[in-house]
Structures are given as structure tokens and as C-alpha cells.
Structure 1
């Protein structure tokens, strides 16, 4: 049995234990298996292949450097996707709400003047929305971002993460309930900007 085949039949725990001990061949196998799909995932956020590759490479570098202290409570695949998701989110932080607002202004067909108060509200909403999303449970946050910001269908999310559609539906529902509570004071503005926190 060759090394590649042997590594492929390891459980996540065995896989991680091999990497934690500095097994470079196991790490290389993980890299080769996951690099391309993770880049595709990053590209779906960033819309730039070079940026996506940079994010994925940086994630794998950090993964290797911190291998001794890794704490993974989900599947290894979910962990990697979440790590890439978080790095992509950091790149586009504070831009999502601004983009939604600009789309609203353009759709309105008029050159709307933004008063200092309006700008402050948009900025504050951006901050509160990002904070609320970041406070969601890990799997819940990942699934919500894939659904709302990547616009993936539930079946596509389920396929990528190896979950059932029912689990995806439940996690989306959970995320929406939490966000409605967290952002109760901002719901009118969220609706104005087309950011939906209702099913």
C-alpha cells in the first residue's frame, strides 16, 4: 500500500495527529486534495483568482505553523472551508453593506445625497452586521455566508460540506433567528438595503 492510499483512509483524527507530529507527506496530500476546491470557494467570495490562491496558501501556511495547537471540533473539511471563509471575509469586511447601499441608490434612479447621518448609519450597520455574523456558531456562520453571500443553493452547500439538506435548512433558520434578535434595532435599514434576515 503506498503512502497516498494509506493517508486517504485515515480518519480526520488520525490525519490531524500525523500532521501534528510534522508528517510533511500527509500535509502535502491534504494540500493537493483540497487546494483547488478551496481556491474555487475563495474565488466565489473574492472574484479574483490570484487573491483566492493567496488566501488559500496563507491559510495552509498558518495551518502548518500552528499544527501543534490546532483545536478542530468539526470535520477537517469544514474546518478548512471555515478558515478560508474567515480570511475572505476579512478581505471584504465593511464592503458588503456599502455595495448593497450603492445598488439601492442606482436602482432608485436618482443621485441621492448621503448626509453625514446616513453615512454614519450605514457604517454602524456594517459594523453591527459583521459582528453579529461573526458571533454565530461556526457551522451556522459558514452555511449562512455560503447561502446569503455566495448565493449557493441548499443542495450545493450540503454537497460541499458533506451535510444533509435538512441540516443546512436548520442552520440557516438558526442563523436568521439569531440575526433578527441581534439586529432588531436595524431591521428597517436592513430591509431598505435588501439584506434579508427573514426566510
Structure 2
């Protein structure tokens, strides 16, 4: 189908025609964006945004061929993203005056790990004495369930259940720090 006919259908709100353009050009645009940005996630976002923009502004866009419009728009979006990335890097370097931003991330990661260790220790200390002893024998002394059961003269099933209950108690008190960890690692 001729691009101009296809675009006329898109301007009239024909989602099927738009989907046809999307399926035809998405892989090419994505590949092109990855080569320019060297970042697959940014490339996906930019191409998706381009198609969303094209659909939402279909009645305002005037062009004879779809392909040139998409490629020029993609190039402009990639240039804008590159400029934003440079500004962001400058801001980060000024805001976090360390010799290397990776060094800052390493320090931040260390702090989060120490906070996590402290929260785990608080959780262990809050356990009832017998549960705490069994948990420490398992996790700190690295004893098997069988070895713990023999030392305490209980069943291995009892040891297993006690450790599972201890883990549930410790995890329930760590929701905030786990969420912080998750956000940190998703942003890096």
C-alpha cells in the first residue's frame, strides 16, 4: 500500500493502518536508535515515544512519506536524548564531587549493604532466644539441619520449621530497606 494512502487512513484514526506502519518500521527504527545511542532500553523508549507521538498528533503531522518523517523524528529524538544525557552527567559530576561517579555508586552501594546487614542483625536479635540460636547455628555457623537437630536434641523438621519462621519474621521487618535496595539497583 502506498505510504500516503496509509497515512490518510492513520489520520482518520484507523488503528489497523497505524499498526501496519508500527510493525513495518519499529524493528528498523529500533536498530537505528541502538546504533546511535548504544543503549537498548533508551532506544526502545525513544522509538515507543516516537510512535505514541505520531499517533497522538496524526491529524497535525503533514508529510508525504512516512519513512522520512519517522527517521528524521528519530534522529532528532536521539540528538535530544544525547544532549540530556550530557547535561545529566555534568550535573551528577557537580553534585557529587568525587573523582569518578562510579566511585560514588560504589560508596552508596556499601552504605546500603551496611544498612541491610544492620537490619538483618536487628531482626535476628528480635527473635525469641531458642529461634535465634537455631537461626544463628544455621546461618552463621553453617550447620546443617541434621547437625542442629542432633545438638539441640530436636527433630530436623522442627529445625527447618523454626528457620522458616525466623526468616519470615526477619523479612517482615525489612520491607523498607529491601524497597530502598530495589530502587537503588533499578536506577543504576
Common fold by TM > 0.5: no
Bigger fraction of residues in helix: 2
Place the TM-score, normalised by the shorter chain, in its bin: 0.3 to 0.5
Larger radius of gyration: 2
TM-score by length of 2: 0.43
